[in-house]
Amino acid sequence: MSTSITIPSACDFHVHLRQGEMMRMVTPKVVEGGVSLAYVMPNLQPPITNTDQALAYKKELEALAPEVTFYMTLYLSPELTPEEVRKAKKAGIAGVKSYPRGVTTNSDSGIENYEIYYPVFKAMEEEGLVLNLHGEVPSDHNADICVMNAEIKFLPELEKLHNAFPKLKIVLEHATTSAAVELVKRLGDTVACSVTVHHLQLIVDDWAGQVHHFCKPVAKYPHDRDALRQVVAQGHPRFFLGTDSAPHP
């Protein structure tokens, strides 16, 4: 039985390249890692919230790795308007990334209410921009929400967004649960899902108490890992690589 696949290069649809000295260090590593197309996340400090910032960031990245095609995104924030969405589309910006407040690195400016952004989502639907969702809700001990069920608690919001904007292209990022896999499959052609390599390998036992395996969203149960492995092995067209490569100090 074959245990490996070799391809000329990969498209990585979820990459963090940071800024400053760290950006200059890691960006040349993209092509060294076998990736020729990188979909770049916008959670810098301050975040990339408009088209001009995204284009300036892209120019920096291209100077460091001219062999790589960079797809740029904006950070969903109150500054983003339907007019800016249309400007972004004309400039070749690929999507908009949504972070719930406080769930991951540099998400302090994240959102708490999606409905106030419905005019933005409508413009994105019309223009063909992708909505990339970090699919977790913030921990809430009073509601019994923690890192282990934060993704499952988010899934009704994904379905609600899809029902409100059925033609909006949505990507649920770095899925970790069988429930997420089943929902994405059920919602149809405009909803997709990125999968990391480490979530195909790890379960909760591998990171609990082992700091170098800890990464949000955390790996879950064996049946969750099995669901991710199965949908990847099937070659499902709406599940694809997004490594969530994310350097830290």
pTM for the model: 0.94
- Per-residue pLDDT band at 110 (split at 50, 70, 90): low
Q: What is the DSSP string of 198-239?
A: GGGT--HHHHTT-GGG--SSPP--HHHHHHHHHHHHTT-TTE
pLDDT of residue 2: 83
Between 3 and 241, residue with greater pLDDT: 241
> Is residue 174 annotated as a catalytic residue, yes or no?
yes
Going from the N-terminus, what domains does the chain have, and what CATH number goes with each? 10-241 (3.20.20.140)
Question: Is 212 tagged catalytic?
Answer: no
14 is catalytic: yes
**Which of the residues 58, 134, 153, 199 is marked catalytic?**
134
CA-wise closest residue to 178 among 231, 131, 136: 231
Q: Which of 12, 14, 220, 224 is catalytic?
A: 14
Q: Say if residue 97's pLDDT is above 70.
A: yes
In the set 97, 153, 169, 220, the catalytic residue is 97
- Amino acid, single-letter form, for residue 172: L
Q: Is residue 244 annotated as part of the catalytic site, yes or no?
A: yes
**88 has a pLDDT exceeding 60:** yes
d(CA 44, CA 101): 14
Beta-carbon contacts of residue 211 (< 8 Å; ≥ 6 apart): none
Mean pLDDT for all residues in the chain = 95
pLDDT at residue 134 in the model: 96
SS3 of residue 169 by DSSP = strand
Query: Catalytic residue at 141?
Result: no
Distance from C-alpha of 8 to C-alpha of 14, rounded to nearest angstrom: 19
Task: Give pLDDT, residue 100.
Answer: 84
In tens, the pLDDT along 10-60 reads: 999 999 999 999 999 999 999 999 999 999 999 999 999 999 999 999 999
From the candidates 16, 162, 169, 199, which is the catalytic residue?
A: 16
Amino acid (one-letter) located at 188: G
Catalytic residue among 174, 199, 220, 224: 174
Percent of the chain with pLDDT over 90: 89
Residues 61-89: what's their mean pLDDT? 97
